[in-house]
Amino acid sequence: MKLLLLAPLVFGLVLAVVVPRKANYDGYKVVRLEVGDNLSQVKDVIQKLSLSTWNGSPKANSEVDVVVPADQVANFDASTADLDSRIMHQNLGAAIAEETDYPLYANHLAFLNDLSKSYPANSEVISIGSSLQGRPITGIHFYGTGLKNTKPAVVFHGTVHAREWITTMVTEYFAYSFLSGFASNTDIRNLLNKYDFYIFPIVNPDGFVYTQTNDRLWRKNRQPTSGSTCLGHDINRNWNYQWSTPGGSSTDPCAQDFRGIRAADAPETVVLANFVNKLAASAQKLKLFIDYHSYSQLFMTPYGYSCSVVAANNNEYQNLARGVVAAIKAVYGTVFKTGPICPTIYQVSGSSVDYVADVTKAQYSFTSELRDTGSYGFVLPADQILPSGVEAFAGLKYLLSNLR
């Protein structure tokens, strides 16, 4: 890509792609059910019809987003007629077909290279290792003029879960905004002179490519498990901290949140952990880590493995998080919620955030769930790419300006 295409790539305005996919979601519906006190009924319907969910297992007095195959729509409708519900996607296949403004994997790599070439004094493209299938885990490192590798490190991950395409776009928007604003914006220049930034928009490249060639809704990496025909380990259940804590992951290789056979047995996890640990052990230290996901509009703090344990500096964490979501809301009125991971969304064991907080010992470790709250879920229309980036960047600038 040439420089003139940089902004359109980030903003998701052009670069239409038409990608063949083997998984066919034509006629599938995605339905949000109000569980209320009907938990047993909802679980029974999901089990009997072998349905998948987009936001974890159903819980009482909550909502669950259910994917219903075309041949099960009639059964599902009959089984849930007495429950409050809302259609998220009437035809999931049609919604996926309209995702023509999300770039291909190769375009994302080209974007990082073109961006760095445009700002050679302040950035470089880096590769910190390889995925299972040999793809580089690529990022962009940027910094103030003449200050490379001297300031506290800030690390962001995107697309840990392959289907969460908005995270790729938003983390790339961060890089574009920082570098393009360095010369003209005093606040941005001060932040780049204060920190070294390492942004990895796609830390699960094998899974991401698979979403663009075979199955738009693939989540995990593409790792086989001995004795199972199911592929994929959930990279965000595979970190070597509280990995086997009951309730926060699955031991079933076919499950979306399969934790792996052993802690850190996914090559991507090893690469990512080695990198943050190397930074933390260096003179730079690791100041801030954020793992970006979608969807739910949340900005969360440790811990995921327990709903009763909180970080020693939890009061500071919550004050910072409240400031972040206030800054996000000030842009377009988008409401994000805050809190520790487990009580805010669900239990997560073997997560990057908990590992980086307690093993790597970064000063701050957060995770965010980007847009939306269930109107579109993972299949987010392209017209929300730019506002998602703009509001998240506002929150990020608040956070970086208020760290101790």
Q: Any idea which residues carry the catalytic annotation?
A: 369
Q: CA 53, 54, 55, 59: dihedral to nearest 10 degrees?
A: -20
Distances 271 to 10, 264, 268 between C-alpha atoms, Å: 26, 10, 5
**Cα–Cα distance for residue pair 29/24, rounded to 1 Å:** 12
Quick one: which of 403, 401, 395 has its CA closest to 322? 395
Neighbouring residues of 9: CB distance < 8 A, sequence distance ≥ 6: 1, 15, 103, 107, 111, 172
Residue 145 three-state SS: coil
**Cα–Cα distance for residue pair 280/300, rounded to 1 Å:** 22
Q: Is residue 133 within 8 Å of residue 232, measured between CB atoms?
A: no
Distances 194 to 190, 324, 403 between C-alpha atoms, Å: 6, 19, 11
Q: CA 354, 222, 70, 74: dihedral to nearest 10 degrees?
A: -40
